[in-house]
Chains A and B, each alone.
Chain A
Amino acid sequence: MGIIKAKQLVHEYIRRDEEGNVESIQTALDHVDLDVEPGQFIAILGHNGSGKSTLAKHINALLTPTEGSLWVNGMDVSEEQNVLPVRQTAGMVFQNPDNQIIASVVEEDVGFGPENIGVPTEEIWQRVEESLKSVGMLEYRTHSPNKLSGGQKQRVAIAGVVAMQPKCIVFDEPTAMLDPNGRKEVIRTAHELNQKKGVTVILITHYMEEVVDADRVIVMDQGKVVMQGTPREIFSQVGKLKEYRLDVPQITILADLLRQSGLDIPVGVLTREELVGHILRLAQVEPPAK
């Protein structure tokens, strides 16, 4: 069984009036099946309101299924006694770093989680050091989070999650509020945690460029999983993505336009390196061996 497995998962937001009568029911997740293997890097795309964040909140047991089931590392999130172990298995990083940082010194913020679950003091400091190192923020350990840039704050927030030693981290639009450098830092950190520590990563984002290195891309629409595949498979279907209010990376659009103008360039070009390679081939310029 995968580390995250959903079977016919349904979530309905039910609104009631003052007397408790049901006013409206909104189906946010509509029979979702999902199976994520440990160590995978999964990206979830979908327009605002497509159900991405609702799904993410189930993985962290912040929400429980209305119907169907979701297991995190074999634990059913619907069962009360599993809530805390689930949250220790799957950590979550949110959009706004300012809402996730509570302490006035970086290292204390990172140590807050482990302290809360009763980790012995010595081990807390060990974990703090290790997690700050893994996000490249060790030299800022005694700084105030207020003076950090957006990307640095977000990395401190990630370190706070890493210090809980989760097997899986869900990133819910972690770069939406960051400048270009901050975005790069955070995405690089997510990949490093995935590769070096084997952490399973679920990345929810609206930036198509951030998805090209994922193992698998999942596209959601109206609470359903509507597309699934490698980034190349997904981004080869420009028309379909546009229907779901999504896009493809700039480089993919450019490669597509060039192909439509008659140049011999394949579908699904994802990165700048690939497109440079194709253009050099067409121009019959030898790329110098690096």
Chain B
Amino acid sequence: MSIILDKVNHIYSPGTAYEIQALKDVNLKIEDGQFIGIIGHTGSGKSTLIQHLNGLMKATSGAIYFHGKDIYDEDFDLRELRNRVGLVFQYPEHQLFETTIFDDVCFGPKNQGLSKEEAGLRAFEALRNVGMPEELYYQSPFDLSGGQKRRVAIAGVLAMKPEVLILDEPTAGLDPAGRDEILDLVARMHRERGITVILVSHSMEDVAKYVQRIVVMNRGSVMYDGTPKEVFRHYKELEAVGLAAPQVTYLMNELKAYGLKVDTDATTIAEARASLLEALTGIDSQKNDFHR
């Protein structure tokens, strides 16, 4: 079971002076249960790409298969696809509109055709999952802080019980603790529920810390697709297209250039620490041997 993109192209305003090819022959296979990061400079096609995954945008050419079925088939149920592939937009808190937090989260499941009771149960579960204190459920969502509003918006999508959760820069504008809270929440949903998560992010550090696989978009094409280690090995090429590697990757590469035996594949603080301790204490013991 998976989502497969086969030579997907998307052209905005075709045939006009404003024609832009936003996606160019994109081939991707998204397996069930993966935690994928999508990175790319502004305008590289990330947001266009993810809006194809739940059928919000239609490819100009190419095919998309959801669990083996062509989503552009006439008898394919796009509504069902959108129920199963949940999309959290950038700044999702701008889409809150109900008078209470609880009603806002109920909106999605009600729209799916669930009864009031069933929708309520879903809303309770989703709000609990995002760690919203129960005494706030019947307050206006507009009185919450930025990070909390965003959690309500994410709960609204979780309440629809998607199999795939796509988040477009869910941490933009949040303080460091808020960033960690949102990403830890998403990681927990992935771990405990086994849902597929696709995270669009501008933070290389966050991507390195959380995801199993990174897809790098550049000018509408997939430039790299691999584990964080494989992708960040190309840090020089990434810089050339407006991206970067995590800070520690640069550190390790600099040290290596000075002749230290360190692991240049380290992409997280924990990995860098382990490698540095080994390299430094290793060098110490060799030196002691020499003096003996």
Contacts and interface: CB of A to CB of B under 8 A. Distances in A.
Interface in A184-243: 206, 208-209, 242
Interface stretch (A61-69, A123-131, A159-167, A272-280): A272-280
A154 B259 CA distance: 40
A280 B246 CA distance: 21
B176 interface: yes
A48 B272 CA distance: 30
Contacts of B259: 285
A188 B283 CA distance: 38
Interface of B: 40-43, 145-147, 169, 172-179, 202, 204-205, 239, 242-244, 246-248, 250-251, 254-255, 258-260, 269, 272-273, 276-277, 279-280, 283, 287
Interface in A236-285: 242, 245-247, 249-251, 253-254, 257-258, 261, 263, 272, 275-276, 279-280, 282-285
A177 interface: yes
Contacts of A149: 41-43, 242
A8 interface: no
A49 interface: yes
Given A180-B202, A257-B273, A285 B173 contact: no
A251 B251 contact: yes
Q: Pick the most buried of A151, A179, A208, A254: most chain B CB atoms within 10 A of its CB.
A: A179
Given A149-B42, A177-B172, A285 B246 contact: no
B258 A253 contact: no
A246 B242 contact: no
B180 to A, nearest CB: 8
Given A181-B243, A250-B205, A272-B250, A283 B173 contact: no
Contact of B258 (A46, A183, A263, A285): A285
A66 B260 CA distance: 59
In the A-B complex, list the 9 residue pairs whose CB atoms are closest, starting with the nearest.
Answer: A245-B177, A247-B176, A150-B42, A181-B242, A47-B175, A180-B244, A48-B146, A250-B247, A49-B145
A46 B175 CA distance: 7
A285 B260 contact: yes
Contact of B248 (A95, A254, A280, A284): A254
Given A206-B175, A254-B273, A285-B258, A249 B247 contact: yes
Interface in A94-146: 95
Contact of B174 (A206, A263, A287): A206
Contacts of A258: 273, 276-277
18 contacts: A49-B146, A149-B41, A173-B173, A177-B169, A206-B176, A206-B179, A209-B247, A242-B177, A246-B176, A249-B247, A250-B246, A258-B273, A263-B280, A272-B254, A275-B251, A276-B251, A280-B258, A287-B258
A208 B269 CA distance: 16
A176 interface: yes
Contact of B260 (A179, A209, A275, A283): A283
Contacts of A242: 177
Nearest to B245: A180
Contacts of A209: 247
Contacts of A284: 283, 287
Given A149-B242, A179-B202, A180-B202, 7 more contacts: A47-B178, A149-B41, A182-B42, A206-B175, A258-B276, A263-B277, A276-B251
A182 to B, nearest CB: 6
B174 A48 contact: yes
B242 A179 contact: yes
Given A151-B42, A247-B176, A182 B242 contact: yes
A178 interface: yes
A48 B273 contact: no
A283 B279 contact: yes
Contacts of B146: 48-49
Given A48-B146, A253-B269, A258-B277, A176 B251 contact: no
A282 B280 contact: yes
Contact of A179 (B42, B176, B177, B205): B42
Nearest to B202: A179
Contact of B172 (A176, A247, A253): A176
A282 B283 CA distance: 9
B145 A48 contact: yes
Contacts of A151: 42
A263 B41 CA distance: 38
Contacts of B147: 48
A253 B146 CA distance: 26
B175 A48 contact: yes
A251 B252 CA distance: 11
B280 A279 contact: yes
A48 B178 contact: yes
Contacts of B247: 209, 249-251, 272
A176 B248 contact: no
A200 B9 CA distance: 47
B201 to A, nearest CB: 10
Contacts of A49: 145-146
A257 B270 CA distance: 9
